[in-house]
């Protein structure tokens, strides 16, 4: 009979399961463990100290009953088995870290669980995908010797042989002595077991062992294994430099220590990108505009330079933006650009730099406020506010709503600031754009801010419209792109500095451009599929909006990028769509980061970011202004 290595909780009283979680930390694994034959919960192992395995935690019911293990991979995160959390809610669970004896739980670090995140597509341990993350209500103190995070094994570690057959791994937990037993040891147990190839495990079990599983045990000998109550706990391997890495999550098997069947574990390296997406999401790069200096007085040719760095990627480019709207990209460090200021009005101006990394993340903007002196004059409109507010924002509506204001008698824009006040119950739902009389779009917010309330922008410098006519209708467009939240546009105003040219030039006639495709191509599991369209005619790439439609087995794992004329930006991150199968897509999604002409090739790439056999189809997509 197959065993799952978890003990039943009240909500899962009929479940018989074996599972284990694998933690992460730089600690060495002891060469030996104390012999406790006949007493060990881990079959064939011995007593162990939590200071030797400080990533190990006890997963308990809220009332304090141990039923699974887990591993500390971050102060806020525990990795455990998916089957350990089936039928459970976060409020029913707690973890205890820093204890050798279960009876001393009150002296450990006790944390409640605020969120359970199950690896998508799970059906049973035998089918793989047996991994889950637990977000803690408050961070653990990892400065002690009894509670430490452990590093997870990555695909690169697997390729380097850290989990090859024959490698001695160590599994720990408070599980039972033998299969079917209900008696748990009080003291943490540990045992060393060699890793077995998936081919050998498949032969032993007479069934396919999926690639996201890892086997360990002594085939033909037995006597050393994990057992009920160890589920979700860690299986660790030497990292080759004196430490260990989390390689497996206790999952399932037939019997405990049976010579015919090795124990089976979730292969952590297969889940690495999914784990890192929650625990260590892509960090934004940083940029520093080093020249010109803030407050400088400039004329003629202006030379700008910047430094940029990225902690978890590489710098793809630094974009310099000058007062008249000119943008120049530099892809090579040291980053620099030059601009001729002689045609720009005298007075205050701003020069900006922004960095983009190879994963699509953008830095904040570093800027210098300077004074230009070329013998030209300028005028200002003063603050102009919309009179149509307040306006209610419709929930989950891609059409959105607009607030408008009109400016007349102004010339060519040399500087613009915008102020917006929006009250909302979840501002991470909002896409907010400012649209000029000429149709140019600037993204003020693109689903940023998470669950925080309200969006307040005060006198934000926007250079996207520099060089356009200020006269005409300015539109603040707001879209709520998710369900169950409400909000209101309370106020909207712009303050423009423009040339004194007797009323300014008429706004340019908006040029409509678009291109679309219906590729109906399959997505690639743990890979990417790309498709291109061509825009002809004229238009501004900065105005691009994206339409997308498709279906997928587990759409939350999808990520998209959009590329044009050598620039690639993130079109949407993982987690944009709900964690379930079905249709995915959107219309009129404004994409920031492009400049210059819209003419030419646009390429959309859809990435499936896990390796669990999910399937899907990119049905149709298009770009337009």
Q: CB neighbours of 9 closer than 8 A, spacing ≥ 6?
A: 61, 65, 67, 87, 88, 92
Please list, residue by residue across 505-531, b when 16 or more beta carbons sit within 10 angstroms of its beta carbon and e when fewer do: eebeebeebbbebebebebebbeebeb
8 Å CB contact between 8 and 228: no
8 Å CB contact between 101 and 187: yes
Q: Compute CA distances 508 → 7, 251, 511, whole Å.
A: 70, 64, 9
Between 67 and 42, the higher pLDDT residue = 67
Q: What is the pLDDT of residue 9?
A: 58
CA distance 479 to 178: 58
Q: What is the pLDDT of residue 500?
A: 65
Q: Which of 250-259, 338-347, 596-605 has the weakest average pLDDT? A: 338-347
Q: Is there a catalytic annotation at residue 130?
A: yes
Q: Are strands 263-267 and 301-309 parallel, antiparallel or unpaired?
A: unpaired
Between 580 and 220, the higher pLDDT residue = 220
Q: Which of 119-133, 497-511, 520-534 has the weakest average pLDDT? A: 497-511
Q: Is the pLDDT of residue 377 over 80?
A: no
When pLDDT is averaged across residues 134-148 and rounded to a whole number, the result is 93
DSSP state of 232: B
Q: CB neighbours of 137 closer than 8 A, spacing ≥ 6?
A: 111, 112, 113, 114
Q: Compute CA distances 497 → 340, 465, 504, 574, 592, whole Å.
A: 20, 11, 12, 40, 24
| Sign of the torsion angle spanned by Cα atoms 111, 114, 117, 122 | positive
The string of DSSP codes covering 311-332 is SSS-EEEEEEE-TTS-EEEE-S
379-498: CATH topology is: Jelly Rolls (2.60.120)
Length of the chain: 625
Which overall architecture, per CATH, does domain 2-279 show? Beta Barrel (2.40)
Q: What is the pLDDT of residue 134?
A: 96
- Asked if the bond preceding 334 is cis, omega within 30° of 0, the reply is yes
Count Cβ atoms within 10 A of the Cβ of residue 237 and give its class: 0-12 exposed, 13-18 middle, 19 or more buried.
buried
Q: What is the pLDDT of residue 73?
A: 95
Q: Is the pLDDT of residue 413 over 90?
A: no
Q: What is the pLDDT of residue 54?
A: 95
Tell me, yes or no, if the two domains 286-372 and 514-624 fold the same way.
no
Q: Is the pLDDT of residue 25 over 80?
A: no
User: What SS3 state is found at 26?
Assistant: coil
Q: What is the pLDDT of residue 219?
A: 92
Q: Is the pLDDT of residue 446 over 70?
A: yes
Q: What is the pLDDT of residue 244?
A: 93
Q: What is the pLDDT of residue 612?
A: 66
Q: Is the pLDDT of residue 36 over 80?
A: no
8 Å CB contact between 485 and 395: yes
pLDDT one-digit tens code per residue, 174-225: 988 776 677 889 999 999 999 999 999 999 999 999 999 999 999 999 889 8
From 52, 74, 130, 225, the catalytic residue: 130
Q: What is the pLDDT of residue 23?
A: 30
CA distance 567 to 548: 20
Q: Is the pLDDT of residue 10 over 50?
A: no
From 66, 83, 442, 552, the catalytic residue: 83
Confidence of residue 331 (pLDDT cuts 50, 70, 90): very high
| Element holding 204 (H helix, E strand) | helix 198-205
When pLDDT is averaged across residues 485-495 and rounded to a whole number, the result is 89
Spacing of C-alpha 487 from chain mean position: 26
Q: Is the pLDDT of residue 13 over 50?
A: no
User: What SS3 state is found at 277?
Assistant: helix
Q: Is there a catalytic annotation at residue 485?
A: no
CA distance 101 to 174: 9
Q: Is the pLDDT of residue 575 over 60?
A: yes
| Sign of the torsion angle spanned by Cα atoms 563, 567, 572, 575 | positive
User: What SS3 state is found at 125?
Assistant: helix
Q: Is there a catalytic annotation at residue 564?
A: no
Q: Is the pLDDT of residue 410 over 80?
A: no
From 36, 58, 146, 231, the catalytic residue: 231
Domain boundaries, the chain: 2-279, 286-372, 379-498, 514-624
CA distance 251 to 263: 8
pLDDT one-digit tens code per residue, 338-370: 999 887 777 888 898 988 877 666 787 899 999
User: What SS3 state is found at 559?
Assistant: strand
Q: What is the pLDDT of residue 584?
A: 86
514-624: CATH topology is: Jelly Rolls (2.60.120)
CA distance 567 to 455: 29
Which overall architecture, per CATH, does domain 286-372 show? Sandwich (2.60)
| Element holding 275 (H helix, E strand) | helix 268-279
pLDDT one-digit tens code per residue, 283-318: 678 999 999 999 999 999 999 999 999 887 789 899
Q: Is the pLDDT of residue 430 over 60?
A: yes
Q: CB neighbours of 32 closer than 8 A, spacing ≥ 6?
A: none
When pLDDT is averaged across residues 225-242 and rounded to a whole number, the result is 91
8 Å CB contact between 456 and 498: no
Q: What is the pLDDT of residue 24?
A: 32
Please give the angle made by the CA atoms of 566, 567 and 570, to the nearest 5 degrees.
Answer: 145
Spacing of C-alpha 578 from chain mean position: 14
């Amino acid at each position: 009979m197959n065993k799952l290595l978890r003990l039943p909780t009240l909500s899962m009283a009929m479940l018989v399961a074996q599972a284990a979680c694998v933690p992460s930390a730089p600690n060495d694994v002891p060469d030996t463990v104390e012999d406790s034959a006949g007493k060990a919960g881990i079959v064939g192992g011995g007593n162990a100290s939590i200071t030797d395995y400080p990533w190990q935690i006890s997963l308990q019911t809220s009332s304090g009953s141990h039923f699974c293990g887990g591993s500390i991979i971050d102060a806020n995160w525990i990795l455990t088995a998916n089957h350990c959390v089936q039928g459970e809610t976060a409020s029913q669970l707690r973890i205890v870290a820093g204890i050798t004896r279960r009876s001393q739980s009150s002296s450990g670090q006790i944390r409640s669980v605020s969120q359970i995140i199950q690896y998508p597509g799970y059906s049973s341990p035998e089918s793989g995908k047996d991994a889950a993350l637990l977000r803690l209500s408050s961070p653990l103190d990892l400065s002690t010797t009894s509670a430490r995070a452990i590093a997870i094994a990555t695909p690169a570690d697997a390729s380097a042989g850290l989990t090859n057959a024959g490698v001695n791994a160590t599994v720990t937990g408070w599980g039972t002595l033998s299969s079917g037993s209900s008696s748990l040891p009080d003291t943490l147990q540990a045992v060393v077991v060699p890793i077995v190839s998936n081919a050998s495990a498949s032969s032993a079990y007479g069934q396919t062992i999926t690639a996201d599983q890892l086997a360990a045990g002594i085939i033909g000998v037995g006597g050393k294994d994990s057992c009920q109550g160890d589920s979700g706990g860690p299986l660790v391997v030497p990292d080759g430099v004196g430490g260990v890495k989390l390689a497996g999550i206790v999952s399932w098997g037939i019997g405990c220590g049976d010579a015919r069947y090795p124990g089976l574990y979730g292969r952590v390296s297969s889940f690495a990108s999914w784990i890192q997406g929650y625990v260590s999401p892509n960090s934004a790069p940083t940029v520093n505009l080093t020249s010109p200096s803030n407050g400088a007085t400039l004329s003629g040719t202006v030379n700008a330079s910047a430094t940029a760095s990225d902690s978890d990627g590489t710098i793809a480019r630094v974009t310099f933006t000058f007062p008249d709207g000119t943008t120049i990209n530099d892809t090579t460090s040291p980053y620099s650009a030059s601009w001729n200021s002689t045609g720009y009005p005298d007075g205050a101006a701003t020069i900006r730099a922004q960095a983009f990394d190879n994963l699509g993340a953008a830095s904040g903007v570093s800027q210098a406020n300077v004074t230009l002196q070329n013998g030209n004059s300028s005028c200002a409109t003063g603050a102009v506010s919309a009179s149509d507010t307040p306006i209610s924002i419709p929930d989950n509506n891609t059409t959105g709503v607009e607030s408008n204001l009109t400016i007349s008698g102004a010339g060519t824009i040399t500087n613009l600031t915008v102020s917006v006040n929006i009250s909302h119950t979840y501002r991470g739902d909002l896409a907010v754009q400012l649209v000029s009389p000429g149709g140019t779009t600037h993204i003020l917010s693109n689903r940023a801010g998470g669950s925080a309330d309200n969006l307040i922008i005060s006198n934000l410098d926007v250079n996207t419209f520099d060089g356009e006519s200020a006269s005409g209708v300015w539109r603040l467009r707001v879209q709520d792109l998710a369900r169950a939240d409400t909000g209101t546009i309370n106020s909207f105003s712009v303050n423009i500095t423009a040339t004194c040219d007797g009323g300014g030039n008429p706004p340019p006639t908006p040029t409509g451009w678009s291109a679309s495709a219906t590729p109906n191509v399959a997505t690639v599991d743990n890979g990417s599929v790309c498709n291109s369209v061509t825009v002809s005619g004229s238009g501004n790439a900065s105005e691009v909006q994206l339409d997308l439609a498709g279906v997928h087995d587990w759409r939350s794992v999808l990520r998209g990028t959009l590329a044009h004329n050598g620039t690639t930006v993130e079109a949407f991150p993982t987690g944009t769509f709900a964690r379930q199968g079905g249709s995915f897509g959107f219309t009129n999604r404004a994409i920031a980061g492009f400049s210059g002409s819209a003419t030419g090739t646009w390429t959309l790439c859809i990435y499936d970011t896990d390796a669990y056999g999910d399937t899907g189809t990119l049905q149709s997509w298009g770009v337009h202004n």
